[in-house]
Structure 1
Amino acid sequence: VLAGASLSPSGRYLVWVMRIGGYNEIHVRDLETKEVKRFSVGGSREHFGGVFVDWVAWKSDDRLMLAMTRLEVSRRGNREDGRIRAFTYGRAILSLSRDGSSIVPLKAPRADDGDPGEVLDTLPDDPDHILMTYRTGGGSLDVARVNVLTGAAVKVLGGHRRVLSYVTDNSGAVVGRVAYRGLTGRILLLEALNADGQWSEVYRLRRDEMRDLPDYEFLGATAQPGQIYVTVQPKVADGGNTAGVHIFDFRTRQMGPAIWQHERYDVSGIVVDPDTHELLAGCYWADIYRCDFSDRQDDAVMNGIRRFFGEGWSISVVSQARDGSRWLVQASAPNNPGEYYLFNVAERRMDPLGSIYPRLPEDQLGVMRRVDYTAPDGQALFGYLTRPAGAAPDAKLPLVVLPHGGPEMRDVMAYDMWVQFLATRGYQVFQPNFRGSSGMGRVFAEAGHRQWGLRMQDDVTAGVQTLISQGLADQGQVCIVGASYGGYAALQGGATQPDLYRCAISIAGPSDLMTMLRWERSEGGSDSDRYEYWVRSIGDPRTDQAAIEAASPLRRAESWSIPLLLIHGEEDDVVPVAQSRAMERALRRAGKPVRLVEMEGAGHNGWSRVQEITVMTEMEAFLRQHLPVPAPAPAVADEAVADETDEPRAEPQAEAAPAA
């Protein structure tokens, strides 16, 4: 596995992390001499843990910074399935020479060895220092200046326990911070640092606005002191729709107008000149990830790179030399989780560096395309259909409908492990972007509010019916599968449309929305951010009880008729496992076909590889029984699941590719 690649400031050196057979290696390549230095930084085993590389970054051309986590697990009898007896956990941030020597531990003043703090700013213009944040014994979040050559650390700014993070400008000066107020942390404050060292409130935010779709997200420093690029979600009163890039000035406390904005899609990132901090491009997810450059010459370069890869590839700029002479880009596609390339701007030459998961066979993975369709009320919608490699254009293959979670998320034309796993088993997979999905503006996202089981479900149904009407699928040869909100959509589809769906799989999905809202209220209080978010999304139990109950699949247990598989993590703190347990009990009492698989120690997401395999194995067995593929599935087996132990290709290649 290849990860964490980046260019040194001059663009002469390239660093990346290789994971080979459970061991971590740092590779540093001199792009002029082609010499590669390698040094080991430990390893890990699946059931016993070990050392994991969190990130690697350049401080200067001569010095690297490396962050690692150690998590070692002791099991009874030293067996893989033995009960956990003890564990050791700690983190480290190191400074080291380019060749792996002269290692210096970096940590904040009086910090424990296993809890060094976090890097706040690498201070590119200061060769010897970085800024780190750390929690004191009293819980205050303070800032320290740390010497990367000696490890000496000096506190430069004090905070308090309610500070969550700090903001720095292009000079490394701390200009702002985010803190919370109130017993529940319901109110977030964006504060600016005054000349006298005191803090002034600039904006007041609710906590849920710092979730997946925050009103403000800091993107990086501008060329001017005290100014920061931010993405801003437009307000209804402003008449805007998509999130754009603005400049916030901490000195004047003023938010400027949008300097970059796409008319259809929310901004997802930016490209900034590494030397001048000038905004070069705004990036967004259309079907693929795109970055539109404001400079015509830079945009021509990016268009040339896109032509080099062809249609369907997402291109992102990972890092650049400070003089702009070299770009490190990552290219990915639905059948390729990513490859690194080095682009020489002057020579217009693209050099391949390596694949993230080299063992995945692209030509045997599923082929994805966009499907446009219209909802019954006239709303234009789209989704993505992935069909097995080599499938005949007119083949009516068994269809798995896979609504995304969130619900304020979205699917894109990118590699998806579950999609490819199912496609290599002979299924075609449909991912609809229903109303309520994010990334396509405020209006489209808010159109899903209080539409659980209604408009959002209708949008999923309309997509399936479009595929049937186009002759790509047969009614009765469709199952619906999803996780989180997608798990709810699977339950609701199975409960209300047994004539459309042959079976359903719900993974960590809510089944009783009234109970779910009560649980949210008990967890955080009726005035908490989480509860207010779900009230806006689902409905208010005080005024919408009948509608909420009608949209709850649990209430339809008596009329349920199709086979159902429920999978849930026992430690889920987002959708409690009680939601799946209640659904299983109700269906068993009604004599309906249901099976519940509970995963010990698993949360809502962030599963281990073993837990991921458990989920996919259960899905495959259930679908094989209830939605069998008529012909043998393609020979590709478990390689659709990216494996951290994959052996990489030979040393990344430097042969020149055709000019972009």
Structure 2
Amino acid sequence: MFVSKILSRVSFAVFATFAIFGPISNTAIAAAPNIDIYAQLPRTASVRVSPDGKYIAMLAPYRGDKAVFVYNLQNPSANTVIITPPKDSIVKAIDWASSKHVIMVARIRDKGAGKMKRYSTLYSRWVSTNVETQKSVILMNDKLMEKSYPITSAGAYLHSLPDDPDYVLMALAEFGIKPEQRHYRVNLNTGKERLKRLLPISTQNIAFSSDGEKILAREDYNRRNGVYKVFHGAGKKETVVYQSKFDKTKNRTTYFITVFDGKILMQEDENEELTLFTIDPASKTRAPFTINANIGSGHVYRPIFDTITDELIGISYTDDIPKQVFSAEPYKTWHRKAKKALKGNEVRILSRTKDNAKVTLYAQSASNPGTFYLFEPKEGKISYLGGSYPEIDPSQIAQTVRFDFTARDGVEIPAYITFPPGKTKASGPMPMVVLPHGGPSARDTASFDFWAQYLAAKGYVVFKPQFRGSTGFGYDLREKGYGEFGDKMLTDTIDGVRHLISKNIAIADKICVTGASYGGYQALALPMVEPDMFKCALSVNGVSQIRDILKYEVARTGNNSSAIKFWRRIIGDRFDDKDMLIAQSPAENVAKIKAEIVLVHGTDDMTVPLKQSKTMAKALKKAGRSGDIILLPNDDHNLSLPQSRKKMLEASDALFAKHLD
């Protein structure tokens, strides 16, 4: 159904093979930077090897979107299988559910979903493709899905059931007379499900045995009363081994991760250090848990689980670029050897075969936008598979560096600057584009970013402030962002701009701002707060009316949802803080804005709906200014389509050429 007609072979075959004990390099395809190269989706992404080592699957651009490409490692002359997503959907992720089944997460728009069926939403469906029969099916019955919604962070997918390769374990939350979480065994060939177990609706994360058949432990959080429990075992044999109570008006700060060496591994949030601890199921005693790695404090840590057994093998974190630290063999040895071979690159392990004969790797550096490799540990070989942006000549890759500064109240603010290729701070002053990140509880990195790289290639220095509220730089900085959505987060950015002007990096009268999501809000709000600083602003999927976005979120998720608790903490209450939120909303204060404003918005954006840009456009027109919106048809909140990226970059070109060149 979704497998396109088999085409003549699209060769990906190993470009070069190297001995593991020597350094590796590969030459990018030289080409002058142009908008089509930067707007394109990564040429290679999400590379995964099948458990038996026969196939490689990856995401790549295809007919204006992206598709799954499956290559036969054992028979390189075989035809490539190309798997496209269901109609009107976008591929978000892929993996192997068995040695012959590729599964994709397809994001689909539901025009009637949400609270009281009044609001559209985007939801995910899992699609299974048998690469041998080339048959694709959507997993789970449509009618069943209509009265439910996926639970886990990975949609409704729970476990691959490696001993039963034609099935996976999935879950749905069903809200009938008795709300409950239901687990189903789902056939990868037919998409049909069979009920396996029932659990309380308040069940959150679950740890399974390596075969996926048994529950080892689970966590339970009642949002109505704030009671949090961790259970060991399952069914009538489960016992409470940890219990706490949280303020129900806020999100909880303790999280269950997995079962590790027979003990329950937990993490505490809102702390400067990586705070992991274990609970002994027998004694119910707590003990600190450490990972033997010197990785510093303040980072956001995520567990890494084995792609086949789902066992904990290490952690990932970001220290300017994403990194991995492994606590289990053979991962530690693989990682060490790969980093030695791919000298100068940060290396991440993506997947492995059951027999450990093949491993897929991802490498990146300041001059490498991202490359994928096949590693064969027993032979000591690494083979190049593909690059994210191979058309960009290394000499045209702009360097991104840390450039921290001090805000007006003494808070140290991290920041990144991307200089035009061949330029440094000594080359200034230069026209500057401010590019604040979304979130706002997120962060930028020094990794390759198509948006910043394109702007730098056009000759602009790009400033990315990691204003208070950003994650990954310590809890203290994140905590200082509470309640500062429309205040000190903005003044942090302004203080950073002033710092760059004082350091002779930015030209004071040639500064514009652009960004998406919360960055889109900053693009509209900064010229409102500091009218003479910014000559122009381009907002992508940005918020313009804060109280309205809070109302929208309540209608979609409920007044007691974790999303609303988060937003109240970051933004404020739409009733209690009404006057403040009106003063911080660009659509309510167009008269203060001198900068030329350009609005860009995805028609299928369900995170910040198109209405936000329409409200801003209406306010601009009422003030006698241009209020047209550049629409991105069928795109979501994330600039997921190449044609959307190109339209956005073209709009940037026109606007910035007028004010910065």
What is the TM-score when the length of structure 2 is the normalising length?
0.73
Partner of 1:638: none
1:443 alignment partner, SS class: helix
**C-alpha spacing 1:209/1:405, structure 2 compared with 1 (3 Å):** farther
Partner of 1:80: none
Partner of 1:222: 260
1:76-115 alignment to 2 at 5 Å? 92-94=127-129, 100=132
Indicate whether 1:64 and 2:100 are aligned: yes
Structure 1 segments unaligned to the other structure (5+ residues): 74-88, 235-239, 629-660
Deviation at 1:298, TM superposition (A): 6.8
2:523 to 456, 478, 490: 490
Deviation at 1:291, TM superposition (A): 2.1
Indicate whether 1:369 and 2:409 are aligned: no
**C-alpha spacing 1:518/1:391, structure 2 compared with 1 (3 Å):** same
2:94 to 45, 51, 55: 55
Question: How well do the aligned residues superpose, as a CA RMSD in angstroms?
Answer: 4.6
Indicate whether 1:450 and 2:508 are aligned: no
1:606-621 alignment to 2 at 5 Å? 607-621=640-654
Deviation at 1:480, TM superposition (A): 1.1
Indicate whether 1:434 and 2:472 are aligned: no
Give the whole-Å Cα distance in 2 for the aligned partners of 1:58 and 1:571: 29
Give the whole-Å Cα distance in 2 for the aligned partners of 1:15 and 1:218: 33
Number of residue-to-residue matches in the alignment: 589
* Contact kept in structure 2, 1:290 and 1:315, CA below 8 Å: yes
Give the whole-Å Cα distance in 1 for the aligned partners of 2:282 and 2:160: 22
1:531 to 559, 564, 567: 564
Give the whole-Å Cα distance in 2 for the aligned partners of 1:295 and 1:69: 29
**Identity, % of aligned positions:** 25
**C-alpha spacing 1:366/1:501, structure 2 compared with 1 (3 Å):** same
Give the whole-Å Cα distance in 2 for the aligned partners of 1:90 and 1:523: 19
Indicate whether 1:387 and 2:419 are aligned: yes
Give the whole-Å Cα distance in 2 for the aligned partners of 1:367 and 1:21: 30
Partner of 1:640: none
Structure 1 window deviating more from structure 2 (250-259 vs 389-398): it is 250-259
Indicate whether 1:398 and 2:431 are aligned: yes
Indicate whether 1:342 and 2:374 are aligned: yes
Partner of 1:120: 158
**C-alpha spacing 1:359/1:266, structure 2 compared with 1 (3 Å):** same
1:504 to 518, 537, 550: 537
1:566 alignment partner, SS class: strand
2:72 to 14, 28, 37: 28
Indicate whether 1:417 and 2:447 are aligned: no
**C-alpha spacing 1:404/1:277, structure 2 compared with 1 (3 Å):** closer
* Contact kept in structure 2, 1:343 and 1:350, CA below 8 Å: yes
Task: Specify the code of the residue in structure 2 equivalent to 1:241.
Answer: E
Deviations 1:104-143 (A, max 9, x none): 9796799999999954222345667643446789786433
Deviations 1:460-482 (A, max 9, x none): 12322232223222101110112
Indicate whether 1:478 and 2:511 are aligned: yes
Partner of 1:6: 48
Deviation at 1:334, TM superposition (A): 5.7
* Contact kept in structure 2, 1:56 and 1:64, CA below 8 Å: no
Give the whole-Å Cα distance in 2 for the aligned partners of 1:545 and 1:148: 51
* Contact kept in structure 2, 1:208 and 1:530, CA below 8 Å: no
* Contact kept in structure 1, 2:525 and 2:584, CA below 8 Å: yes
Structure 1 window deviating more from structure 2 (554-563 vs 48-57): it is 48-57
Structure 1 window deviating more from structure 2 (437-446 vs 332-341): it is 332-341
Partner of 1:353: 385
Deviation at 1:360, TM superposition (A): 4.1
**C-alpha spacing 1:337/1:255, structure 2 compared with 1 (3 Å):** farther
Give the whole-Å Cα distance in 2 for the aligned partners of 1:529 and 1:104: 35
**C-alpha spacing 1:599/1:282, structure 2 compared with 1 (3 Å):** closer
Partner of 1:170: 210
Indicate whether 1:461 and 2:494 are aligned: yes
1:273-312 alignment to 2 at 5 Å? 280-294=313-327, 302=335, 305-306=338-339, 308-311=341-344
Give the whole-Å Cα distance in 1 for the aligned partners of 2:560 and 2:85: 43
Indicate whether 1:259 and 2:290 are aligned: yes
* Contact kept in structure 2, 1:242 and 1:440, CA below 8 Å: no
* Contact kept in structure 1, 2:186 and 2:192, CA below 8 Å: yes
What is the TM-score when the length of structure 1 is the normalising length?
0.73
* Contact kept in structure 2, 1:16 and 1:28, CA below 8 Å: no
Deviations 1:480-515 (A, max 9, x none): 112222122222221122332221222233334345
Task: Specify the code of the residue in structure 2 equivalent to 1:64.
Answer: K
* Contact kept in structure 2, 1:434 and 1:460, CA below 8 Å: yes
Indicate whether 1:233 and 2:274 are aligned: no
Partner of 1:650: none
* Contact kept in structure 1, 2:69 and 2:82, CA below 8 Å: yes
Indicate whether 1:131 and 2:173 are aligned: no
Deviations 1:23-62 (A, max 9, x none): 75411314xxx856544244479xx769969524163xxx
Deviations 1:327-346 (A, max 9, x none): 43211346644211234546
**C-alpha spacing 1:294/1:108, structure 2 compared with 1 (3 Å):** closer
* Contact kept in structure 1, 2:250 and 2:565, CA below 8 Å: no
Give the whole-Å Cα distance in 1 for the aligned partners of 2:642 and 2:218: 37
Indicate whether 1:142 and 2:182 are aligned: yes
* Contact kept in structure 1, 2:103 and 2:128, CA below 8 Å: yes
Partner of 2:348: 316
2:591 to 544, 551, 558: 558
Deviation at 1:228, TM superposition (A): 5.4
Q: Which has the higher contact order (CA 8 A, sep 6+)?
A: 2
2:485 alignment partner, SS class: coil
2:430 alignment partner, SS class: coil
Task: Specify the code of the residue in structure 1 equivalent to 2:215.
Answer: V
Give the whole-Å Cα distance in 2 for the aligned partners of 1:274 and 1:600: 35
* Contact kept in structure 2, 1:334 and 1:416, CA below 8 Å: no
Give the whole-Å Cα distance in 2 for the aligned partners of 1:153 and 1:350: 40
**C-alpha spacing 1:252/1:523, structure 2 compared with 1 (3 Å):** farther
Structure 1 window deviating more from structure 2 (497-506 vs 572-581): it is 572-581
* Contact kept in structure 2, 1:94 and 1:104, CA below 8 Å: yes
**C-alpha spacing 1:565/1:326, structure 2 compared with 1 (3 Å):** same
Deviation at 1:252, TM superposition (A): 7.0
* Contact kept in structure 2, 1:129 and 1:147, CA below 8 Å: yes
**C-alpha spacing 1:25/1:455, structure 2 compared with 1 (3 Å):** closer
Task: Specify the code of the residue in structure 2 equivalent to 1:367.
Answer: Q
**C-alpha spacing 1:109/1:165, structure 2 compared with 1 (3 Å):** farther
Indicate whether 1:196 and 2:236 are aligned: yes
Task: Specify the code of the residue in structure 2 equivalent to 1:143.
Answer: H
* Contact kept in structure 2, 1:411 and 1:431, CA below 8 Å: yes
Task: Specify the code of the residue in structure 2 equivalent to 1:174.
Answer: I
Structure 1 window deviating more from structure 2 (164-173 vs 483-492): it is 164-173
Partner of 1:16: 57
Give the whole-Å Cα distance in 1 for the aligned partners of 2:626 and 2:141: 60
Deviation at 1:579, TM superposition (A): 3.7
Structure 1 window deviating more from structure 2 (146-155 vs 503-512): it is 146-155
